[in-house]
Structure 1
Amino acid sequence: MNSDFVIALHSLVLLANLPDQMANSEVIAENVCTNPARIRKVMSLLRKNGYVKTKEGIGGGYILSSDPDEITLSEIYLTVSVGALKPNWCTGDPEQTCVISSNTQSVMDEIFNEAEFHLQSYLNQITIRHVLDRIKSSD
């Protein structure tokens, strides 16, 4: 899992908590505790996929353009983090004669693919509204 998922999730929950209000990248960044450039990068992906709308200039920013009751965490994961469970490097070498070394990469790829499938299935049960409600109830 990479931090873009958590940044996207946090940003969408914040916007869901501010219905009909714009929030610029500086406001979101302060709330998320990261820098505005990082927020703009993640929000660009969310905008391209229809989760937020943007307005340029003074008073501009981001506003939620989708129903928080319908946005699943699985959708957000697929937008910003798909494939993030699998490490960039895996031990072993398919060219080796050793059965362990030559097969570890393919077996681990299968394991990570299965884990990602199960993660997406679980995240598909949770919406942005569920997260917002849990946050508010933990006060």
Structure 2
Amino acid sequence: MNSELTIAVHSLALLANLPDHMASSEHIAKNVCTNPARIRKIMSMLRKHGFVRTKEGLGGGYILDCDPREVNLAQLYRTVSCGTLKPQWCTGDPQDSCPVSAKMHSVMDQIFNEAEEHFTRYLEQITIHSVLDKIRQS
């Protein structure tokens, strides 16, 4: 799995927690502890899917464009990192005469696909608002 989901959740939680719900990519990057270019890439995906909008010019930045009580982490996962549970490379060779080597790739594909379904269903239960609640309680 990559870190895009964590960055997306962190960024939206930060925007939801700000009084005016707006922040520059530099402000978000500093809070997330990454670089602004990475934030802009992820925020661009979030903007395309209606989670944030942008304000241009002096004092501009990203503005939350969704209700944190209604946005769940599965929606964000599908937006920024769906399919990342499965590694890019898998052992085995489908042309091999050994049944373990020949079937390992398809078996692992099935396992990762099922894990993805379970993970997504779990993430559907968690909203940006509930993440903020957990932050405030700890």
Deviation at 1:21, TM superposition (A): 3.1
When normalised by structure 1's length, the TM-score is 0.97
Tell me which residue corresponds to 1:71: 71
Gaps of 5+ in 2: none
Q: Distance between the aligned counterparts of 1:67 and 1:9, measured in 2?
A: 13
Query: Residue deviations 1:80-102, cap 9 Å, x none?
Result: 01000000000001011110000
Q: Distance between the aligned counterparts of 1:49 and 1:19, measured in 2?
A: 23
Are 1:53 and 1:63, in contact at CA under 8 Å, matched by a contact in 2? yes
Tell me which residue corresponds to 1:106: 106
Which deviates more from structure 2 when the two are superposed, residues 45-54 or residues 11-20?
Answer: 11-20
Tell me which residue corresponds to 2:38: 38
Spell out structure 1 runs of 4+ moving beyond 6 A.
Answer: none
Deviation at 1:19, TM superposition (A): 4.3
SS of 1:62 mapped into structure 2: strand
Tell me which residue corresponds to 2:91: 91
Alpha-carbon distance change, 51 to 19 in structure 1, aligned in 2, over 3 angstroms: farther
Are 1:92 and 1:103, in contact at CA under 8 Å, matched by a contact in 2? yes
Q: Distance between the aligned counterparts of 1:125 and 1:21, measured in 2?
A: 24
The alignment of Structure 1 onto Structure 2 pairs a total of residues equal to 138
Q: Distance between the aligned counterparts of 2:21 and 2:45, measured in 1?
A: 20
Are 1:22 and 1:59, in contact at CA under 8 Å, matched by a contact in 2? no
Aligned identity (percent) is 66
Tell me which residue corresponds to 1:81: 81
Gaps of 5+ in 1: none
One-letter amino acid of the structure 2 residue matched with residue 71 of structure 1: V
Which deviates more from structure 2 when the two are superposed, residues 11-20 or residues 68-77?
Answer: 11-20
When normalised by structure 2's length, the TM-score is 0.98
One-letter amino acid of the structure 1 residue matched with residue 93 of structure 2: D
Query: Residue deviations 1:26-48, cap 9 Å, x none?
Result: 00000000000000000000000
Query: Residue deviations 1:58-85, cap 9 Å, x none?
Result: 1000010000000000000000010000
Alpha-carbon distance change, 65 to 19 in structure 1, aligned in 2, over 3 angstroms: farther
Query: Residue deviations 1:83-139, cap 9 Å, x none?
Result: 00000000001011110000000000000000000000000000000000110111x
